[in-house]
């Protein structure tokens, strides 16, 4: 069958990110290609997370597995306008202009079945709002911990959607509006689904100006964004109760507001001294000024200062400079950050609109 090269390349690229970087199952290193009834569908999977996208095509039929890395390399080198694609379980052939590639085939029946979004009750998100909420939480997950519930984002659905993530040393909370269509069900009583970080990153990359439809069924959560469909098994295990860290009536000793741009610049200046595992910086809050210092062993030191609208006795907090930098990186440079202080030895809390981020102090020198 003949297909437009640019359109096919865009379709292939949109699904390529769903191919696992490492997997013991060779079949998962492929992308499933199916053409029938005037629609071409490409699908990638790691057995638990599924990603597929589609586009119109001619009346030809193809059902095969495309070796993802090899085909991506081929597509980068092609220049002619049209591709002729044929394939089955024995071989795949790609012809574009004078270029002709023949690849060994793999039985497409060995590929995991790809779910479909067929829910009649679901949640509707504005794409921009959901994208911002994911961006503000996905960096705080812990993908290496044995506490599996920390390896994803907890999503609560009520009058608003609340996304929460933590690696036990920091916590991110972001909320946004959501619309309920046909009274959807979400999670079990007393718990909310935790969606794996890898899945949330795929959603983040897929979100554009198109609204996002979300449904939950048993242990699977599904997302539909335009022609893109993403589904994932949820993470088993109880997510920490973030309300213990950020209670509604938390008594902050002092608060002040600072613009994100100069605050971020201040932290970047002292972080240039980071080396190896040494990530600790010290923040000293004084009347009228915030001082940041970094003193890694045997390297040297860095010190920077900025004015802040604060009065009272000095407070000193040591924390992970990388974590603070990652938080500031997701903020718009024009954001006004509310900094909330409790004591020298307690957590540091930041608030921007409907976004709360908490950093635990470190005792490391």
Each of the 365 residues of the chain gets a pLDDT tens digit; together they read 899 999 999 999 999 999 999 999 999 999 999 998 899 999 999 999 999 999 998 877 899 999 999 999 999 999 999 999 998 888 999 999 999 999 998 999 999 998 889 889 999 999 999 999 999 999 999 978 766 789 999 999 988 999 999 999 999 999 999 999 999 988 766 678 999 999 999 999 999 889 999 999 888 999 999 999 999 999 988 899 988 888 777 778 889 999 999 999 999 999 998 877 778 999 999 999 999 999 877 678 899 999 999 998 899 999 999 999 999 999 999 999 999 998 887 889 999 999 999 999 986 44
Q: What distance separates the 2 farthest-apart alpha carbons in the chain? A: 76
pLDDT of residue 187: 76
Contact 83, 94 (CB under 8 A): yes
In angstroms, the CA 284 to CA 134 distance is: 31
pLDDT of residue 201: 97
* DSSP letter, residue 362: -
pLDDT of residue 58: 82
pTM, two decimal places: 0.92
In angstroms, the CA 188 to CA 227 distance is: 29
In angstroms, the CA 295 to CA 283 distance is: 12
Q: In order of start, what are the domains of the chain with their CATH numbers?
A: 2-110 (3.10.150.10), 122-243 (3.10.150.10), 246-359 (3.10.150.10)
Complete DSSP assignment for 289-352 = EEEEEE--TTT--EEEEEE-S--SS-EEEEEEHHHHHHHHHTS-TT-EEEEEE--TTS-EEEEE
Contact 32, 43 (CB under 8 A): yes
């Amino acid at each position: 069958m003949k297909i437009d090269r640019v359109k096919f390349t865009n379709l292939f690229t949109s699904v390529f990110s769903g191919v696992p970087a490492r997997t013991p199952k060779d079949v998962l290193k492929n992308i499933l290609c199916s053409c029938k009834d005037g629609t071409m569908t490409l699908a990638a999977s790691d057995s638990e997370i599924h990603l597929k996208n589609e586009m119109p095509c001619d009346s030809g039929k193809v059902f095969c597995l495309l070796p993802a890395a090899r085909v991506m390399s081929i597509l980068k080198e092609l220049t002619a306008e049209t591709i002729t694609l044929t394939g089955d379980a024995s071989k795949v052939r790609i012809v574009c202009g004078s270029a002709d590639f023949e690849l060994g085939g793999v039985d497409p029946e060995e590929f995991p079945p790809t779910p479909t979004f067929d829910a009649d009750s679901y949640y509707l998100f504005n794409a921009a709002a959901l994208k911002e909420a994911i961006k503000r939480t996905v960096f705080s997950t812990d993908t290496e911990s044995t506490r599996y519930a920390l390896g994803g984002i907890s999503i609560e659905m009520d009058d608003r959607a609340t996304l929460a993530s933590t690696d036990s040393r920091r916590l991110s909370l972001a909320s946004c509006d959501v619309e309920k269509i046909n009274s959807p069900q979400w999670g079990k009583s007393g718990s909310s689904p935790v969606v794996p970080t890898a899945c949330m990153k795929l959603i983040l990359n897929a979100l554009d100006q198109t609204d996002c439809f979300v449904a939950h069924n048993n242990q699977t959560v599904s997302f539909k964004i335009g022609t893109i469909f993403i589904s994932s098994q949820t993470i088993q295990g109880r997510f920490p109760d973030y309300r213990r860290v950020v209670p509604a009536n938390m008594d902050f000793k002092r608060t002040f507001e600072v613009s994100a741009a100069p605050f971020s610049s201040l932290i970047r200046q002292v972080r240039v001294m980071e080396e190896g595992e040494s990530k600790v910086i010290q923040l000293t809050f004084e009347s009228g000024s915030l001082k940041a210092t970094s003193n890694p062993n045997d390297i040297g030191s860095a010190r920077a200062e900025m004015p802040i609208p604060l009065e009272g006795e000095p407070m000193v907090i040591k924390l992970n400079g990388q974590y603070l930098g990652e938080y500031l990186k997701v903020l718009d440079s024009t954001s006004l950050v509310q900094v909330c202080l409790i004591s020298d030895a307690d957590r540091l809390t930041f608030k921007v609109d409907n976004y709360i981020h908490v950093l635990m102090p470190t005792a490391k020198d």
